Amino acid sequence: MTTAPVSPLLQHAMSEALAEAQEAARADEVPVGAVLMHSQTGDLLVRTQNRMRRDHDGTAHAELLAIREAARLLGDRSLLDYTLVVTLEPCAMCAGAIVLGRVGTLVFGAWDDKAGMCGSVGDVVRHPRLNHRPEVRGGVLEQECSSVLKEFFATRR
């Protein structure tokens, strides 16, 4: 896991993902947002957010939607040249999709000690038997990402 200082490019990308998370919260979705950007240029290809309630689909997580849309736009399932930036550590389903989509780099904000599968509960994305393992960086703008989730759930208790 990378622990270097956060670059302005990653800060900007995570800010965009946070904006998506806040929009999801306004739609009464669990506030998780994601962006997929070209790793070299920083150009944003896709912006998404959780849509499980709106789409009546338990698999409509921000990460999965970003991977699907990027593959459709690029006409290629391999996303080696791209960085997925998401506000919450991916679950097992999303971690598997990150591996299968061959995402080059994963960056996430808040750690998920209940369902996170990129270092917290388990580590699907770096399993040694898999043929693709993305670079992973967790804890980027962690406080801001955690706050969005805490505020959302505080209003529901």
Instruction: Give the model's confidence band at 156: pLDDT under 50 very low, under 70 low, under 90 confident, else very high.
Output: confident
pLDDT digits (tens, 9 = 90+) for 89-121: 999 999 999 999 999 999 999 999 999 999 999
Q: What is the pLDDT of residues 33-42, one digit of tens each?
A: 999 999 999 9
Question: Domain locations in the chain?
Answer: 8-155
Q: Which residues are documented as binding site for Zn(2+)?
A: 61, 91, 94
- What is the largest distance, in Å, between two alpha-carbon atoms of the chain? 43
Q: Where are the alpha helices (DSSP H) in 51-111?
A: 52-55, 62-74, 92-100
This prediction's pTM? 0.95
In 3D space, the residue among 126, 61, 59, 133 whose CA is nearest the CA of residue 101 turns out to be 133
For the domain covering 8-155, report its CATH number.
Answer: 3.40.140.10
What percentage of residues in the chain have a pLDDT greater than 70?
A: 97
Neighbours of 19 (CB within 10 A): 15
Cα–Cα distance measured from residue 18 to residue 144, given in angstroms and rounded to the nearest whole number:
8
Residue 42 CA to residue 45 CA, distance in Å, equals 9
Residue positions annotated with a catalytic role = 63
Q: Which residues are documented as binding site?
A: 61, 91, 94
